[in-house]
Amino acid sequence: MARSGTLGDKVYRTVLLAAAISILLIVAAVLYMMVQNSLPTIQRFGAGFLFASEWNPSQEKFGALPFIYGTVVSSILALILAVPISLGIAIFLVEQAPKSIARPIAFMVELLAAIPSVVYGLWGIFVLAPFIRNYLGPVLQDNLGFLPLFQGRLTGIGMFTGGIILALMITPIITAVVRDVLEAVPNTQREAALALGATKWETTMIVLGNAASGIAGAVVLGLGRAVGETMAVTMVIGNSPQITASLFEPAYTIASVLAANFADATEETYLSALIEMALVLFLVTVIINALAKLMIMSVAGRANAAKHV
Amino acid sequence: MQIIEKTRILFYTFIFLVVAIGVSCSGQKLGDSNSSGTSGTIRVAGTGSTFVKPMMDKWGSEFGKLNPTINIDYSSTGSGAGIKGIQNQTVDFGGTDAAMSDDELKQAAGGEIVHIPVVLGAVVLTYNLAELKEPLKLTPELISDIYLGKIRKWDDERIKKENPNAALPANDITPVFRADGSGTSDIFTDYLSKTVPEWKEKVGRTKNPQLPQGIGIGGKGNEGVMGQVKNTPNTIGYVELTFAKANNLPAALIRNKAGNFVEAGSSTVSNAAAGMADKMPDDLRFEITNAEGADSYPISGIVFMLVYRDQKDARKGKALADFLWWAINDGKQYVVDLHYAPIPPKLVEKAGAKIDLLSNGGKSLRKQ
């Protein structure tokens, strides 16, 4: 079986290099296409595109702000709801649960990740929206109604429902990654902490501290999915480009407006505006990823520093 | 060793798949070029209006039974895409719910485009009011005021005036609109622009209507609007007639130009087109919203097929002309079952004359 000659190695190396370079080319091609095709609106509206809040394609008014707002707020809402739950599940699975319980729960979590987003959307319309309209919404309005966040008409369709659906969709991803990260923390650390008399809680805190950079990475993965999620959000968020303090009001996200309008956009300016919006989404994702990398680096740096003290 | 064996099997499978896909793709290309030759099946491709897709599928399959060598292939991509497709000549015909504008016609790469009306549709207002038994009656002014946020409660005096005996709740109205660009919105806003000056000024006729901030909820596609209306009490939304009928949604009676409240249905929609038949221009580019006639449903629309007058390929052009001719004549029998409305006899005549115009090398294709 001595087939691994120098020629084989060369071919092998070239193939790998080509694979790596193809990623760069794809990113470059996507970026080039988006910039090229959005030039009409970039030149016409400049930075005003990002800060204008009126959106009316038939009158050639294109303001991306309501969509950026909708994307950012729905994603943040999703993170606020999903991160504590995901951490809870992951910690339970790794630190507390016996194997016989952990396996089926872990399996269920992975199953959730495999559900297509349109199914989440349907569930949102048929189950979650009526639940919020009839039960959760009134309770929030009765008790926290003095906050602008919970004022306004309760239709069950809006930012709040969108945020919850997104939270459900990103929970499995965050959980799965955090679980892997926690499992990677060496058992010797737990044993050492317990041996020094730490409680189960204190031990877990030490483990979490060591896994912080990995957890941050998991959160960013979840955020990445939330920002780009389209179908399920379109079905429950109400698709109305507006900026309001109320979470119960309809909103609109960048991904949703692209999905809803791309096929039928024939006018050049309109198409250009939509592509520029895609460019904005792309840049938002890049910024999020960069921030995450910085965060991970700083946490990892601190951890390294701590080791040397 | 076993791992290497496995890798090798995987590798060969991969190579096999690549080759197989490659061969089948090039095979398809061969088939395509054959279709414009002298033998084999003729594939006529169209794209556009999603609204007419079920009708085109039915027509395509029935026509295919009569003419096994002709394959009519229609993909639903939206009216805008249908116009784009025929302009760029990427398809043999386009389908649209709204006639092309003069500007759009100028951008057509293949010369003069002929509009052929094939079938009619309508937009109905459906609502979620559990206690209401009889159909709601609406005037264009009421629809406009609801969608502009000037009427906010179901028990508003103005709604009560038209519906004196209806059990209208004291709840907020939530209007639902189409969030995606659509021919349905175009028909709906065209109707309101013709009947309500305030609507014309504030929203106008458009495929992408924008309501005042915070007024309504947007749904994607007919099914999106229907989903919101069906599941949210106190909503009102507009969907295509075929869709409302197929899903047993309630539909409001709309007051037409003659002052009668009319229910949407195949016959009232055909009436609308018949009412306009004498007024239509020679190129048949017209709307039938707010039509004349005592029994015409006012929010009605026409679906056009867009074809080049000069067909480059004689066999394909002949197949296309025969298909369109068959659709508006014999194809009528399938229209009502799918909840569309047939074009009235007068319009069949005019559309037929347009189909006769399709020619190759100066000779009419129909009459060959």
Please report residues of B whose CB lies closer than 8 A to that of A58: 204, 206-210
Q: Which of B4, B207, B209 sits opposite A264 (nearest CB)?
A: B207
pLDDT band at B20 (very low <50, low <70, confident <90, very high): low
Judged against a pLDDT cut of 60, whether residue B91 lies above it is answered with: yes
First to last CA, chain A: 52
Task: Output the pLDDT for position B73.
Answer: 93
Of the candidates B320, B325, B316, the one whose C-alpha atom is nearest the C-alpha of residue B351 is B325
pLDDT band at A309 (very low <50, low <70, confident <90, very high): very low
ipTM for the predicted complex: 0.79
Query: The sheet that has B137-138: what strands, in order across it?
Result: B137-138, B253-255, B261-262
DSSP for A33-88? HHHHHHHHHHHHHTTHHHH---EEGGGTEE--HHHHHHHHHHHHHHHHHHHHHHHH
B210 vs B201: CA distance, rounded Å? 12
pLDDT band at A216 (very low <50, low <70, confident <90, very high): confident
Task: Output the pLDDT for position B29.
Answer: 39
Judged against a pLDDT cut of 90, whether residue B65 lies above it is answered with: yes
Residue B124 has φ and ψ, to the nearest 5°, of -115, 155
pLDDT band at B255 (very low <50, low <70, confident <90, very high): very high
B270 vs A204: CA distance, rounded Å? 73
Range of lowest pLDDT (A42-46, A248-252, B9-13): B9-13
pLDDT band at B19 (very low <50, low <70, confident <90, very high): low
Task: Output the pLDDT for position A301.
Answer: 64
Q: How many CB pairs under 8 A join A and B?
A: 101
- Residue B48, chain A, CB below 8 Å: the answer is no
Judged against a pLDDT cut of 90, whether residue A15 lies above it is answered with: yes
pLDDT digits (tens, 9 = 90+) for A78-106: 999 999 999 999 999 998 888 899 889 88
pLDDT band at B324 (very low <50, low <70, confident <90, very high): very high
% of chain A exceeding 70 in pLDDT: 94
What is the least distance, in Å, from the CA of A184 to any CA of chain B? 27
Judged against a pLDDT cut of 80, whether residue A4 lies above it is answered with: no
Of the candidates B219, B161, B210, the one whose C-alpha atom is nearest the C-alpha of residue A125 is B219
pLDDT band at B28 (very low <50, low <70, confident <90, very high): very low
- Residue B76, chain A, CB below 8 Å: the answer is no
CB contact under 8 A, A239 and B1: no
pLDDT digits (tens, 9 = 90+) for B267-294: 999 999 988 888 888 889 988 999 988 9
Mean pLDDT, to the nearest integer, of B142-148?
A: 95
- Residue B201, chain A, CB below 8 Å: the answer is no
CB contact under 8 A, A242 and B81: no
Task: Output the pLDDT for position B157.
Answer: 93
Please report residues of B whose CB lies closer than 8 A to that of A1: 1, 4
Q: What does the radius of gyration of chain A's CA atoms come to, in whole angstroms?
A: 23
- Residue B206, chain A, CB below 8 Å: the answer is yes
More confident site: B191 or A61: B191
Of the candidates A163, A165, A203, A164, the one whose C-alpha atom is nearest the C-alpha of residue A187 is A203
| DSSP code for B135 | P
CB contact under 8 A, B219 and A239: yes
- The SS3 of residue B12 is helix
Largest CA distance in chain A: 77
DSSP for chain A? -----HHHHHHHHHHHHHHHHHHHHHHHHHHHHHHHHHHHHHHHHTTHHHH---EEGGGTEE--HHHHHHHHHHHHHHHHHHHHHHHHHHHIIIIIS-HHHHHHHHHHHHHHHHS-HHHHHHHIIIIIHHHIIIIIHHHHHHHHTTSGGG-S---S-SHHHHHHHHHHHHHHHHHHHHHHHHHHS-HHHHHHHHHTT--HHHHHHHHHHHTHHHHHHHHHHHHHHHHH--HHHHHHSB------S-SSS-B--HHHHHHHHTTT--SHHHHHHHHHHHHHHHHHHHHHHHHHHHHHHHHHHHHHHHHH-
B329 vs B308: CA distance, rounded Å? 21
Question: Which ranges of chain B does DSSP label H, i.e. alpha helix?
Answer: 2-35, 53-66, 79-87, 102-106, 140-147, 157-162, 183-195, 197-202, 221-231, 241-246, 266-276, 314-328, 345-357
Mean pLDDT, to the nearest integer, of A130-142?
A: 90
What is the least distance, in Å, from the CA of A260 to any CA of chain B? 5
**CA dihedral sign of residues B238, B240, B241, B243:** negative
Question: Which chain A residue is nearest to residue B1, measuring alpha carbons?
Answer: A1
Q: Which of A58, A260, A264 sits opposite B204 (nearest CB)?
A: A58
Question: Which ranges of B96-234 does DSSP label H, i.e. alpha helix?
Answer: 102-106, 140-147, 157-162, 183-195, 197-202, 221-231
What is the least distance, in Å, from the CA of B315 to any CA of chain A? 31
DSSP for B81-110? HHHHHHHTTSSSEEEESSPPPHHHHHT-TT
Is residue A184 within 8 Å of A97, Cβ to Cβ?
Answer: no
Residue B364 has φ and ψ, to the nearest 5°, of -60, 130
Q: What does the radius of gyration of chain B's CA atoms come to, in whole angstroms?
A: 24
- Residue B265, chain A, CB below 8 Å: the answer is no
Task: Output the pLDDT for position A308.
Answer: 52
Q: Which of B4, B77, B211 sits opposite A1 (nearest CB)?
A: B4
Is residue B186 within 8 Å of B203, Cβ to Cβ?
Answer: no
- The SS3 of residue B4 is helix
Burial class (CB in 10 A: 0-12, 13-18, 19+), B271: buried
Task: Output the pLDDT for position B130.
Answer: 87
Mean pLDDT, to the nearest integer, of A5-12?
A: 86
Is residue B288 within 8 Å of B120, Cβ to Cβ?
Answer: yes
- Residue B130, chain A, CB below 8 Å: the answer is no
Please report residues of A whose CB lies closer than 8 A to that of B228: 125, 157
Report CA-CA distances (Å) from A142 to A135, A287, A289.
11, 39, 39
Judged against a pLDDT cut of 90, whether residue A26 lies above it is answered with: yes
CB contact under 8 A, B235 and A155: yes
Of the candidates B255, B257, B264, the one whose C-alpha atom is nearest the C-alpha of residue B137 is B255
Give the pTM. 0.81
- Residue B228, chain A, CB below 8 Å: the answer is yes
CB contact under 8 A, B182 and A238: no
> Tokens for B154?
């179901």
Per the listing, tokens 């005019």 go with B350
Strands B174-178 and B261-262: unpaired
pLDDT band at B224 (very low <50, low <70, confident <90, very high): confident
Question: Which chain B residue is nearest to residue A260, measuring alpha carbons?
Answer: B180
Judged against a pLDDT cut of 60, whether residue B34 lies above it is answered with: no
First to last CA, chain B: 70
CB contact under 8 A, B220 and A234: yes
Task: Output the pLDDT for position B249.
Answer: 85
Please report residues of A whose CB lies closer than 8 A to that of B204: 58-59
Please report residues of B whose CB lies closer than 8 A to that of A234: 179, 220, 224
Interface of A with B (CB under 8 A): 1, 55-59, 125-126, 129-130, 133, 153, 155-157, 234-235, 238-242, 244, 249-250, 252, 256-257, 259-261, 263-266
Range of lowest pLDDT (B23-37, B301-315, B318-332): B23-37
Please report residues of B whose CB lies closer than 8 A to that of A133: 232
CB contact under 8 A, B81 and A264: yes
- Residue B220, chain A, CB below 8 Å: the answer is yes
B170 vs B129: CA distance, rounded Å? 11
Task: Output the pLDDT for position B33.
Answer: 40
Task: Output the pLDDT for position B21.
Answer: 56
- Residue B207, chain A, CB below 8 Å: the answer is yes
Of the candidates B25, B24, B37, B36, the one whose C-alpha atom is nearest the C-alpha of residue B92 is B36
Any residues with CB less than 8 A from the CB of B201 and at least 6 apart, and which? none
Range of lowest pLDDT (A4-13, A154-163, B108-117, B354-363): A4-13
Question: Can you give the three-state secondary structure of A27-46, one letter per residue?
Answer: HHHHHHHHHHHHHHHHHHHC
What is the least distance, in Å, from the CA of B90 to any CA of chain A? 15
Judged against a pLDDT cut of 90, whether residue A148 lies above it is answered with: no
Q: Which of B1, B215, B228 sits opposite A157 (nearest CB)?
A: B228
Largest CA distance in chain B: 87
Is residue A255 within 8 Å of A67, Cβ to Cβ?
Answer: no
Judged against a pLDDT cut of 70, whether residue B167 lies above it is answered with: yes
Please report residues of B whose CB lies closer than 8 A to that of A241: 210
- Residue B184, chain A, CB below 8 Å: the answer is no
The β-bridge partners of B255 are B261
Any residues with CB less than 8 A from the CB of B295 and at least 6 apart, and which? B260, B262, B267, B268, B271
- Residue B224, chain A, CB below 8 Å: the answer is yes
CB contact under 8 A, A250 and B217: yes
Any residues with CB less than 8 A from the CB of B68 and at least 6 apart, and which? B41
CB contact under 8 A, A153 and B174: yes
B277 vs B288: CA distance, rounded Å? 9
CB contact under 8 A, A235 and B1: no
Task: Output the pLDDT for position A302.
Answer: 61
**CA dihedral sign of residues B128, B130, B131, B132:** positive
Mean pLDDT, to the nearest integer, of B324-332?
A: 94
Task: Report the mean per-residue pLDDT for chain A.
Answer: 87
